Amino acid sequence: MSYNSADVSSFKDIWVFCEQRDGMLMETDFELLSEGRKLAHERGAQLVGLLLGENVKGLVKELGGYGADRVIVCDDPRLKIYTTDAYTKVICDAVMERKPEVLLLGASNIGRDLGPRCAARLHTGLTADCTHLDIEMTKYVEFLKEASTLDTEAIGFDMQDVNLKMTRPAFGGHLMATIICPRFRPCMSTVRPGVLKKDDFDRAKSEACVMEIYPVKLTESDLKTKVLRTVKETRELVDLLGAEVVVAVGRGISKDIEKGISLAKELADALGGGVLGASRAVIDSGWLSADHQVGQTGKTVRSRIYVALGISGAIQHVSGMQNAEHIIAINKSETAPIFDVATYGITGDLFKVVPLMIESLKEAN
């Protein structure tokens, strides 16, 4: 098999690594497929899911419903539980043989481990932790303005001049960097869970999706680690990603931490099954566990309601909650930047304002 990552014209199609754990697909898979669908449409390419695991064929139609034209299934008992060696080997084999133009992975713990390994082995570039993807069409549009035909060959336009634009926060989140990988393929990117919008499930697309079984070639020497047992953390983690309502606390609760947290929980309940979030200041101070963190180095939420209690609104926090539908900010400083993104802002002491909100909500219910 000849593989040369610099031979960019021999690569085509958009691939999405579809992560599953215990036979359950991740929400990020659907977000990536929905975005991948748009990219594939613009490139006139196929959208292909890459699914690794054991007995996972039953998941193919679900991936089709979110846009995959085809799903390549690598089914093997040695892929049941994720290991870096086995997954890297199988993915790189498939990529070297089929040569996709783009390979997208979720920036989950697994994606963050797997992406760089594969990129190094495939001799290509990777943009980690992206928040936005786009196809660079500028040159194409310029050509079309001059041309009288859509036939790119006839106008001498090289479609390989079209690049995937991968955007991610840089310099501590103070600016957004857009990165391209013009000389090598595939263009690889890990994308933060929750930032891309997932489409609705489409039954017709699901039915039309084609499954392809890829022969897994693994030998004992490919596997350097063995998972002996998996110990699940018994503590219940908060589900910020799927939450409809998030009430988040910041350093503004420092006057009485326990009271601040319990008020936030009470408000979350009064708003209807809300989930407790936090700024990084709260996590770094050890007041709440890391799974509560919202922001650039935490989770990205798209809740219907987001309440920020005593949070200043630093760019790194805002990048994780600005897509919420209704943002309610309570801060004692009227110049706090959180008010710039808030739908409703209340200037005041959270310890006085929140009990009044809870009371009115209880009365209204």
Interaction of residue 295 with ligand FAD, rule CB under 6 A: yes
From candidates 195, 245, 261, 281, binder to ligand FAD by CB under 6 A: 281
Q: How many CA atoms lie within 13 A of 253 on its CB side?
A: 27
Q: Distance between alpha carbon 262 and the CA centroid of its chain, in Å?
A: 30
Residue 216 CB neighbours (<10 A): 18
The least distance separating ligand FAD from the CB of residue 46, rounded to whole angstroms, comes to 36
Q: How far apart are CA 246 and CA 276, in angstroms?
A: 6
Helices first, then strands: H and E counts in the chain: 11, 17
Whichever of 270 and 321 has its CB closer to ligand FAD, that residue is 321
Interaction of residue 333 with ligand FAD, rule CB under 6 A: yes
Interaction of residue 53 with ligand FAD, rule CB under 6 A: no
Whichever of 131 and 296 has its CB closer to ligand FAD, that residue is 296
Whichever of 211 and 315 has its CB closer to ligand FAD, that residue is 315
Q: How far apart are CA 10 and CA 355, in angstroms?
A: 63
Question: Tokens for 74?
Answer: 């690598």
Residue 349 host element (H or E): none
Interaction of residue 285 with ligand FAD, rule CB under 6 A: no
The least distance separating ligand FAD from the CB of residue 293, rounded to whole angstroms, comes to 6
From candidates 336, 341, 342, 357, binder to ligand FAD by CB under 6 A: 336
Contacts with ligand FAD, 225-264, as mask; x by CB under 6 A: -------------------------xxx--x---------
Interaction of residue 296 with ligand FAD, rule CB under 6 A: yes
Q: How far apart are CA 130 and CA 180, in angstroms?
A: 12
The least distance separating ligand FAD from the CB of residue 112, rounded to whole angstroms, comes to 15
Express the helix, strand and coil content of the chain in percent, nearest 5 each: 35, 25, 40
Whichever of 125 and 298 has its CB closer to ligand FAD, that residue is 298
From residue 233, give the alpha-carbon distance in Å to each of 2, 28, 161, 237, 319.
45, 22, 48, 9, 28
**Near ligand FAD by CB under 6 A, which window of 21-29, 84-92, 267-275, 280-288?**
280-288
From candidates 100, 243, 351, 357, binder to ligand FAD by CB under 6 A: 351
From candidates 82, 206, 349, 355, binder to ligand FAD by CB under 6 A: 349
**DSSP E strands: which ranges in the chain?**
14-18, 20-21, 24-25, 47-53, 70-75, 102-106, 126-130, 132-136, 163-170, 175-179, 187-191, 210-213, 245-249, 275-278, 305-309, 326-331, 344-347
Q: How far apart are CA 40 and CA 16, in angstroms?
A: 11
The least distance separating ligand FAD from the CB of residue 308, rounded to whole angstroms, comes to 8
Contacts with ligand FAD, 114-133, as mask; x by CB under 6 A: --------------------
Interaction of residue 78 with ligand FAD, rule CB under 6 A: no
Longest CA span, the chain:
71
Binding residues for ligand FAD (CB under 6 A): 172-173, 250-252, 255, 279-282, 293, 295-298, 310-312, 314, 316-317, 320, 330-333, 336, 349-351
